[in-house]
Structure 1
Amino acid sequence: MASTVGEEHRKDIVKTLLPIFLGFVAGIISFAVLGTLTKRHPLGIVILVFVIYIHKFLMPKFDVELENKDWGVISFLCFSSWYISWTLLLNA
């Protein structure tokens, strides 16, 4: 019983920290690709969507099975960290 609780806790941590980390990476990539471009360009959001899609392949590597409800959380965490990191880099 204790090992299954620990395993579930590990899976929940992976479901939380991996999207946050990859969102920051997506923000850095968006800044590196687009720089300080003043006009709106959809490539930044395309990078974000691609990084969210990567979760489909990375989560099974960590023995985490994703349910439909998990995609909303993953997308929100990834978007939030992407937006924060890209905004901070643009205003530096």
Structure 2
Amino acid sequence: MTEENVSNGTEAIIVKSGDQKRKEHNERIYRTGIASIMGIVAGVLSYLLIQNETQGVIGFLLLLGAMVFQKHIFMLMKIDVSGLGGKDWFYQSFMAFAFWFISWTILLTIPF
């Protein structure tokens, strides 16, 4: 089914079919999962590549690289990124940051 435009006085309301809603929901889940995995990978790499606390900037650069690399993964998975706004990219970046911070902190506090 397709989208329907319903006129409600001055505003037009777009009604989406169940399949479209499901597809958009699945894409949001994939995007969140990718951001989470990229954050964890950046956190683990930060732990493995940094020898002392003076090299902490390298960990932050790894996080920034993971944030940028997400867009390329989205394109490889054929997820449409043209409709993503600033709020969406902020959310993606925050999720990567949160998982990077948590995974790196856990690895730094647990003696391996």
**TM norm structure 1:** 0.89
| In 2, Cα distance between equivalents of 1:44 and 1:60 | 25
| In 1, Cα distance between equivalents of 2:31 and 2:64 | 17
Amino acid across the alignment from 2:104: W
Amino acid across the alignment from 2:105: T
Q: Return the structure number with greater relative CO, CA threshold 8 A, min gap 6.
A: 1
Partner residue in 1 for 2:100:
82
Q: By how many angstroms is 1:40 displaced?
A: 5.0
Map 1:64-79 → 2, pairs under 5 A: 64-65=80-81, 66-79=84-97
Unaligned runs of at least 5 residues, structure 2: 1-16
Runs of 4+ residues deviating >3 angstroms: none
Report the number of matched residues: 91
- Where is the strand percentage greater, Structure 1 or Structure 2? 2
Partner residue in 2 for 1:41:
56
| In 1, Cα distance between equivalents of 2:47 and 2:59 | 8
Partner residue in 2 for 1:21:
37
Larger Rg over CA atoms: 2
| In 2, Cα distance between equivalents of 1:40 and 1:67 | 33
Q: By how many angstroms is 1:64 displaced?
A: 3.2
Secondary structure in structure 2 of the residue aligned to 1:80? helix
